[in-house]
Copies of this chain bind each other. A is one copy, B any other.
């Protein structure tokens, strides 16, 4: 073969197993095996094949392989929002774990739109990922995931859980987390404790609110609905929520926030009222995103080990891909209270 031919081939990006086989006068089967370093091929042959492949700039075509093997080595990830550092950090953990296991991430996002989620998941599944990791939009129902189970696609839910789908789940023990937070505040002498952010549309919202009420009750404290400000867990919610409860005739002295983002907003809202967390008010967040330690005051929060959640979800999924008949598993990671500077004795 001439150099020109080689360049020509490489140029047109059309180097296939056939081309290599042709030039070396071996079969495509041998080339295929050789490139995958099969022990069945003679060392000398392998070396020749691999050398030529490199020289020609051969690129393995996974679409073709997938068609044949019914395996894509792709893991589809459907997240509602990767702008929230909690999910961004979780996604990185998923991606890194997947990459270590030779898998690549196919990503879809849908904010909190059920309709976009529908479309995105539909598209993702056409790529035939070996499995999916999902954090559904608020209000998603078991029926909305039926098409995935019907197609027998291995799915693990992360962080948010939909009741009654028999799918794997990796999340945090949110009732315990709320209890940790409330316990800490009560220990500091607080008796009027607000809960800001979170709503009934998502499982974490329900669980953290449930945990909040149970924790109060467990400690003999009354539940006052006026102290509960429910909304999507954003900075804006925290900003508005803290001010709303501060305006109450009998305002709280502390607040447990649905997540760190809400807590950051609350920290700010406090300043707008010339108050300061850690001085004359206490704020506890939930999640422990990187930013939490960096705030001023540094945020006391419930660490949910979200990177570990990401890693575990990827591991669970890979196990399920390899063994689809496993019974559904539910792994709850125990949260941990991280006391920093935003909480103070009453």
Contact = CB atoms under 8 A, between A and B. Distances in A.
Contact of A104 (B10, B127, B264): B127
A296 B15 CA distance: 57
A60 B126 contact: yes
A122 to B, nearest CB: 9
Contacts of A92: 82-83, 109
A265 B235 CA distance: 19
A278 interface: no
A270 to B, nearest CB: 10
A92 B105 CA distance: 15
Given A13-B151, A63-B72, A127-B62, A104 B106 contact: yes
A77 B235 CA distance: 28
A248 interface: no
A66 interface: yes
Contacts of A271: 296
A268 B296 contact: yes
Interface in A293-328: 294, 296
Contact of A123 (B104, B109, B150): B104
Nearest to A293: B235
A99 B108 contact: yes
Interface string A195-239: 000000000000000000000000000000000000000010000
A294 B295 CA distance: 11
Nearest to A123: B104
A107 B105 contact: yes
Contacts of A99: 108, 120, 123
Contacts of A264: 294
Nearest to A89: B83
Nearest to A264: B294
Interface string A113-145: 000000010011111100000000000000000
Interface string A29-54: 00000000000000000000000000
Interface of A: 10-13, 57, 59-64, 66-67, 72, 74, 77, 82-83, 85, 88-89, 91-92, 95-96, 99, 104-109, 120, 123-128, 147, 150-152, 235, 264-265, 267-268, 271, 290-291, 294, 296
27 contacts: A10-B150, A12-B152, A59-B128, A59-B151, A60-B126, A61-B128, A62-B127, A62-B128, A63-B66, A63-B127, A64-B67, A67-B67, A82-B82, A83-B88, A83-B92, A85-B88, A92-B109, A95-B107, A99-B108, A104-B106, A104-B108, A104-B123, A104-B124, A105-B107, A235-B290, A235-B294, A264-B294
Given A11-B152, A62-B128, A83-B88, 20 more contacts: A10-B150, A12-B152, A13-B151, A59-B126, A61-B67, A62-B127, A63-B67, A67-B67, A74-B106, A77-B107, A82-B88, A83-B89, A85-B85, A95-B109, A99-B120, A104-B108, A105-B107, A264-B294, A265-B294, A271-B296
The 3 closest A-B pairs by CB, nearest first: A63-B66, A105-B107, A88-B88
